Amino acid sequence: MDGNGRWAQRRGLPRIMGHRQGVLALKPVVKECARLGIEVLTVYAFSTENWTRPKPEVEALMGLLCEFLARETRELQAEGVSIRVIGDVAGLPLSAQAALAEAVAQTRDGSRLILNLALNYGARNELVRAVNRWLQDQPPGVRPVLTEAVLSRYLDTAGLPDPDLLIRSSGEERLSNFLLWQIAYTEIYVTKTLWPDFNPEELRQAIAEYQRRQRRFGGIG
Ligand code: FPP
């Protein structure tokens, strides 16, 4: 959800106003995904690197997350959305952890769309945590061999399909430590639109572009 800061700066507003607008842009996109029959939407909300931002901005982002959950969870639940989290949740403020645990529990039975919030998420961090968890599960005295399938089961995204489409807003052409393992064959769509201006129409355009791609997965199609 990139471009919140620039959206605000272009209007002479403080960056946090861009984040506020960015949160408002999220719900219509979530609802459109549910309407279109998309099964999983993962949004990159806070990276392991975002802690380097000024403290007031970090605190404001955590506050916005809690506000969003308090305001929207009931409606999302009614829409059949199941909220989940990927990332190193234990590193988030306790207030955010509590709000997330409640939202996840409240929406557990949602079967239309999984809304996966990537929070304190970094793909390298996820991979290292996964390997360490796997090692802890190994009996002592053996030299275990890790396979792709087993590693996938230890990732935060265990049980979820690899993404078909990655949308990067604000024109940046980089992955920024997002789902590096899972997006090996994901189609990438970059739009110059700043996240607060992203909307269901743009989502449909991205999907239409995706549908024109030929996916070969390393084969010859
Ligand atoms: C990227 O814009 C956006 C973020 C780092 C934060 C997005 C997170 C929220 C809005 C918090 C709420 C989360 C949820 C799930 C409701 P940027 O600041 O990097 O923009 P810039 O590149 O234009 O500076």
- HSE at residue 73, side-chain half, CA atoms within 13 A, is 19
Total domains in the chain come to 1
Q: Would you say residue 218 lies in a domain?
A: no
Ligand 1 touching residue 30 (CB < 6 A):
no
Model pLDDT for residues 22-77, shown as the tens digit of each residue:
999 999 999 999 999 999 999 999 999 999 999 999 999 999 999 999 999 999 99
Q: Which two tokens stand for residue 186?
A: 């994901």
The type of residue at 140 is P
CATH number at residue 136: 3.40.1180.10
Q: Would you say residue 137 lies in a domain?
A: yes
CB of 9 closer than 8 Å to CB of 21: no
**What percent of the chain shows pLDDT beyond 90?**
99
Ligand 1 touching residue 50 (CB < 6 A):
yes
CB of 57 closer than 8 Å to CB of 43: no
pLDDT at 221 over 90: no
Domain ranges, residue 126: 4-211
Ligand 1 touching residue 121 (CB < 6 A):
no
* 2 labelled catalytic: yes
Check 4, 50, 132, 164 and give the catalytic one. 50
Of the chain, the end-to-end C-alpha distance in Å amounts to 32
Q: Would you say residue 219 lies in a domain?
A: no
3-state secondary structure of 158: coil
Give the number of other Cβ atoms within 10 Å of residue 166's Cβ. Answer: 19
Residue 139: per-residue pLDDT: 94
Model pLDDT for residues 149-206, shown as the tens digit of each residue:
999 999 999 999 999 999 999 999 999 999 999 999 999 999 999 999 999 999 999 9
Question: Distance between CA 171 and CA 145 in Å, rounded?
Answer: 40
* 50 labelled catalytic: yes
Q: pTM of the predicted model, to two decimals?
A: 0.97
Identify the residue whose C-alpha is closest to ligand 1 atom 7.
45
